Structure 1
Amino acid sequence: MDSPFVRTVLGDIPASQLGLTYSHEHLIIEESFPTQANPDFLLNDVEKVAEELTHVYAAGGRTMVDTMPANAGRNVLKLAEVARRTGVQIIAPTGIHLEIYYPQSHWRYQYSEDQLTRLFIADVEEGIDRYDYNGPVIERTPHKAGMVKLATGDEAFTPHQELIFRAVVNTHRETGVPILTHTNSGRHALAQAELFANLGADLQHVVLSHLDRCPDLDYHRAVLQTGVRVEFDSAFRWKANEENVTYRLLEALLPEFPEQLTAGMDAARNTYWQSYGGAPGLTYLLTTFRDELARRGLGDYWNRLMVDNPASLYSFHRQG
Structure 2
Amino acid sequence: MIRTVVGELRPEGLGICDAHDHLFFRSALLVGQELDDAAAALAEVGEFAAVGGQAIVQWTPHGLGRRVEELPGISTRTGVSLIAATGLHRAEHYPEGFVEKVRPRLAEIFHAELTVGIGNSSVRAGLIKVAGGFHRLDEHARFVMAAAAEAHHTTGAPIAIHHELGSAADAVLDLLVDRLDVPPSSVILGHLNRFPDSRAHLDLAKRGAWLAFDGPSRANNATDPQLLACLAALIDGGYGDRLLLGGDTTTAKARGATGEGPGMSFLLTTLRPRLTGAFGADAADAIFRSNPARAFAW
The TM tier, using the shorter chain, reads over 0.9
Output the CA distance in 1 between the equivalents of 2:131 and 2:256. 28
Aligned partner (choices 183, 187, 209) of residue 206 of structure 1: 187
The residue type paired with residue 290 of structure 2 is D
User: Percent of aligned pairs with the same residue?
Assistant: 29
Q: What is residue 98 of structure 1 aligned with on the other side?
A: 90
Does the aligned pair in 2 maintain the 1:54–1:86 contact within 8 Å? Answer: yes
Output the CA distance in 2 between the equivalents of 1:148 and 1:216. 26
Q: Deviations for 1:32-81, whole angstroms, at most 9, x for unmatched residues?
A: 5x1574322x2222222111211211211111011111011221101222
Aligned partner (choices 160, 182, 185) of residue 140 of structure 2: 160
1:6 has 2:2 as partner = yes
- Of 65-74 and 103-112, deviating more is 103-112
**162 and 109 in structure 1: CA distance in 2 versus 1, 3 angstrom threshold:** farther
1:169 has 2:167 as partner = no
- Of 152-161 and 8-17, deviating more is 152-161
Does the aligned pair in 1 maintain the 2:130–2:145 contact within 8 Å? Answer: yes
Aligned length: 295
Q: How does 1:1-150 map to 2 (within 5 A)?
A: 5-29=1-25, 32=26, 34=27, 37-40=30-33, 42-108=34-100, 111-112=103-104, 115-129=105-119, 140-150=120-130
The residue type paired with residue 218 of structure 1 is R
**Structure having the larger proportion of residues in helix:** 2
* 3-state secondary structure, aligned to 1:275: coil
Aligned partner (choices 313, 316, 320) of residue 295 of structure 2: 313
* 3-state secondary structure, aligned to 1:49: helix
Output the CA distance in 2 between the equivalents of 1:68 and 1:229. 19
Does the aligned pair in 2 maintain the 1:235–1:246 contact within 8 Å? Answer: no
**126 and 100 in structure 1: CA distance in 2 versus 1, 3 angstrom threshold:** same
Aligned partner (choices 271, 284, 287) of residue 289 of structure 1: 271
**35 and 252 in structure 1: CA distance in 2 versus 1, 3 angstrom threshold:** same
Q: Please give the TM-score of this superposition, normalised by the length of structure 2.
A: 0.93
Output the CA distance in 2 between the equivalents of 1:272 and 1:111. 32
1:192 has 2:178 as partner = no
Output the CA distance in 2 between the equivalents of 1:110 and 1:235. 33
Does the aligned pair in 2 maintain the 1:26–1:267 contact within 8 Å? Answer: yes
Q: Quick check: which has more Rg, 1 or 2? A: 1
**183 and 109 in structure 1: CA distance in 2 versus 1, 3 angstrom threshold:** farther
Does the aligned pair in 2 maintain the 1:28–1:79 contact within 8 Å? Answer: no
Q: How does 1:165-314 map to 2 (within 5 A)?
A: 165-197=145-177, 198-235=179-216, 244-255=225-236, 256-314=238-296
- Of 290-299 and 305-314, deviating more is 290-299
**55 and 291 in structure 1: CA distance in 2 versus 1, 3 angstrom threshold:** same
- Of 169-178 and 146-155, deviating more is 146-155
Output the CA distance in 1 between the equivalents of 2:186 and 2:143. 20
The residue type paired with residue 190 of structure 1 is D
Structure 2 stretches lacking a partner, 5+ long: none
Output the CA distance in 2 between the equivalents of 1:36 and 1:97. 12
**79 and 243 in structure 1: CA distance in 2 versus 1, 3 angstrom threshold:** closer
Q: Please give the TM-score of this superposition, normalised by the length of structure 1.
A: 0.87
**100 and 219 in structure 1: CA distance in 2 versus 1, 3 angstrom threshold:** same
